[in-house]
Amino acid sequence: MKLNINGTAHDVDAPEDMPLLWVLRDRLGLTGTKFGCGVAQCGACTVHVDGQPKRSCVTPVKFVGNSKITTIEGLDSPQAKAIQDAWCDIDVPQCGFCQSGQVMTATSLLTEKSDPTDDDIDGALAGNICRCATYVRIRQAVHDAADKLAG
């Protein structure tokens, strides 16, 4: 089947029910997207499908069709850059394993809403678990990124 990933067409040989997560990781070597739970509970596998955050661990590859899929490797927008810069400025990550998913979701939030409140951030990111509990800094970094984009 043909997939559009990070702006490139890929011809992939995989069973139709294989979750997008494993196609990305095991077939295409795009390992920035992580496996955390397999049941859409933790958000470590978050990618963008046509701009919307999706849990790739429960998304059978047959359902993505011609959609535009963006992974952490293909993030390329002013919002994404602002988020990643803000992450670096205050050293958000600890172990780092969930952070691809956090960055993907935070980027979506900032793209939808340029000046999110604490409640907006909590609402958008409640599906992304961080076992290191870097939440205080995630919240701060999203605000910092919004401020920077606003100039």
What burial letters (b/e) apply to 55-78, b meaning 16+ CB within 10 Å? Answer: bbbebebeebeebebbbbbbbeee
> Could you give the string, one character per residue 29-68, with x where binding to other proteins holds by CB under 8 A and - elsewhere?
x-xxxxxxxxx-xx-x------------------------
> Which is closer to other proteins, CB of 75 or CB of 146?
75
Give the one residue of 62, 88, 113, 114 binding other proteins; rule: CB under 8 A: 88
Number of CB atoms found within 10 A of residue 50's CB: 12
Q: In 3-98, where does DSSP find H-type helix?
A: 20-22, 78-89
Give the one residue of 4, 10, 12, 18 binding other proteins; rule: CB under 8 A: 18
- Measured between alpha carbons, how far is 37 from 19 in angstroms, rounded to an integer? 13
- Is the CB of residue 89 less than 8 Å from the CB of residue 116? no
Using CB under 8 A as the binding rule, the residues of this chain from 100 to 129 that contact other proteins are 100, 103, 121-123, 125-129
Give the one residue of 5, 22, 59, 145 binding other proteins; rule: CB under 8 A: 22
Please report how close the Cβ of residue 15 comes to other proteins at its closest, in angstroms. Answer: 7
- Is the CB of residue 23 less than 8 Å from the CB of residue 30? no
Residues that bind other proteins (CB under 8 A): 15, 18-19, 22, 25-27, 29, 31-39, 41-42, 44, 71-73, 75, 84, 87-88, 91-100, 103, 121-123, 125-139
